Amino acid sequence: MATFLGKTINGFLNTFGMHLVKIENLTFHKYWNKQQYLEKSEFKYILSLYDVYKKIANVPGHIVELGVAYGRNTIIFSHLINMSNENDVRKYFGFDTFDGFTEESLKSSKQLSKHSWKGISISEVEKRIKSTIKNKPYRLIKGDINKSIPSFLEENPNFRAAMVYVDCNAYEPAIRALENLRPHLSPGAIICIDEKKQGGETKALIEFCEKHNLRFQKDDHAFSIPAYTQVNS
Ligand SMILES: C[S@@+](CC[C@H](N)C(=O)[O-])C[C@H]1O[C@@H](n2cnc3c(N)ncnc32)[C@H](O)[C@@H]1O
C-alpha cells in the first residue's frame, strides 16, 4: 500500500520534475555529513605512505621511524607490512622519548615547544595499536634517539633498514640518527622527512645529502611526501 502510494505521489511529483526521498537516505546523509573520518588530508597522508612503501618493495630491510607519538604511522606501516605479506622479513621500529623534545633540542631550536608531545604513555600507545594490529610487526623503543639508536644498533649489529622515516621535528636528533644509521642502510634504502613547514628535518636531510653525495628530491605527483633521498643501490 505504502509502495503504491509512494509510486502514485512520485508519478504526480515527476510531472513537476521532483521525486520523494526515502527517510533512510536523509538519515544517512545527515550521519555522513557529520563524519570527520578519512577526511581529505588524512586520506592523502595514507596514500603518501603507501607511495613511499612501494619504493622499498625490492629493498630488503626494516622500517625505522624517528618520532612515534600516538602511533598513527606505526599502525599504517604495520598494515602495509601485513597486507604485503612481508611480516616474516620486515618490521617497523619506532623510536620516541614519549615525552616530547629533549632539553638539548629545546635549547638549540627555539621554535620547538616544551609543551608538545609531553607525557605520552607508551603502554597506552601499545594498547591502541594492539586493538587494530593483532600480530606484532612493530616494536616501540622509548628514549632519546641520541642514545636509543646507538644502543639499539650495538645490540643489533646486523640490523638493516630499507626506510628511515624522520618525523621527530628536531634537527639534532635527526642528523645524529641518520649518521648512526648510515652503515645500517640497505642499498636502495630511502630516507623520508615528514615536514610540511620546513624546519629541522629538512635541514638534517639536506646536510646528510650534501655530505654523502645523495640527491635531495621530491616526486612529481599529488601524494608525494615533502622530500626524500635514496641511497645508492
Ligand atoms: C610529530 S611527532 C611524531 C608523529 C608520528 N610520527 C605520527 O605518526 O603521528 C614528533 C615526535 O618526536 C619525538 N621526539 C622529538 N625529539 C626526540 C628525541 N630526541 N628522541 C626521541 N623522540 C623524540 C616527540 O616526542 C614526538 O612524539
Q: Are residues 78 and 110 in the same domain?
A: yes
Q: Are residues 10 and 123 in the same domain?
A: no
pTM of the predicted model, to two decimals?
0.86
Res. 24: pLDDT tops 90: no
Q: Are residues 8 and 108 in the same domain?
A: no
Q: Are residues 47 and 121 in the same domain?
A: yes
CB 78 within 8 A of CB 138: yes
Distance 204 CA to ligand 1 centre (A): 15
Q: Are residues 93 and 201 in the same domain?
A: yes
Domain that includes residue 26, residue range: 2-34
Q: Are residues 92 and 20 in the same domain?
A: no
Give the pLDDT score at 4: 55
Q: Are residues 191 and 151 in the same domain?
A: yes
Q: Among the listed ranges 24-38, 100-114, 131-145, which one has the minimum average pLDDT value?
A: 24-38
Q: Are residues 28 and 75 in the same domain?
A: no
Give the pLDDT score at 232: 86
How do residues 189-233 score in pLDDT, each as one tens digit? Answer: 999 999 888 889 999 999 999 999 999 999 999 999 999 999 987
Distance 144 CA to ligand 1 centre (A): 10
CB-ligand 1 contact for 190 (6 Å cutoff): no
Res. 62: pLDDT tops 70: yes
How do residues 136-193 score in pLDDT, each as one tens digit? Answer: 999 999 999 999 999 999 999 999 999 999 999 999 999 999 999 999 999 999 999 9
Residues whose CB falls within 8 Å of the CB of residue 115, separated by 6 or more in sequence, listed in order: 100
- pLDDT confidence of 28, banded at 50, 70, 90? very low
Q: Give the closest residue (by CA) to ligand 1 atom 24.
A: 100
Res. 125: pLDDT tops 80: yes
CB-ligand 1 contact for 68 (6 Å cutoff): yes
How do residues 78-101 score in pLDDT, each as one tens digit? Answer: 999 999 999 999 999 999 999 999
Q: Is 22 exposed, middle or buried (0-12, 13-18, 19+ CB in 10 A)?
A: exposed
Q: Are residues 10 and 60 in the same domain?
A: no
Alpha-carbon distances of 150 from 13, 72, 88, 146, 160, rounded to whole Å: 74, 25, 25, 7, 14
| Ligand 1 pocket mutation pick from 167, 195, 201 by most atoms within 8 angstroms of CB | 167
Q: Are residues 8 and 109 in the same domain?
A: no
Query: Could you give the 3-state DSSP secondary structure of residue 229?
Result: strand
Between CA 138 and CA 94 the distance in angstroms is 8
How many domains does the chain fold into?
A: 2
How do residues 37-60 score in pLDDT, each as one tens digit? Answer: 778 889 999 999 999 999 999 999
Annotate 83-107 with DSSP letters as a single string.
HTT-TTT--EEEEE-SS---HHHHH
Q: Are residues 76 and 189 in the same domain?
A: yes
Give me the mean pLDDT over the 63-81 stretch: 97
Ligand 1 atom index nearest CA of 94: 6
CB-ligand 1 contact for 117 (6 Å cutoff): yes
Distance 224 CA to ligand 1 centre (A): 21
Give me the mean pLDDT over the 132-136 stretch: 94
Q: Are residues 19 and 116 in the same domain?
A: no
CATH code of residue 138? 3.40.50.150
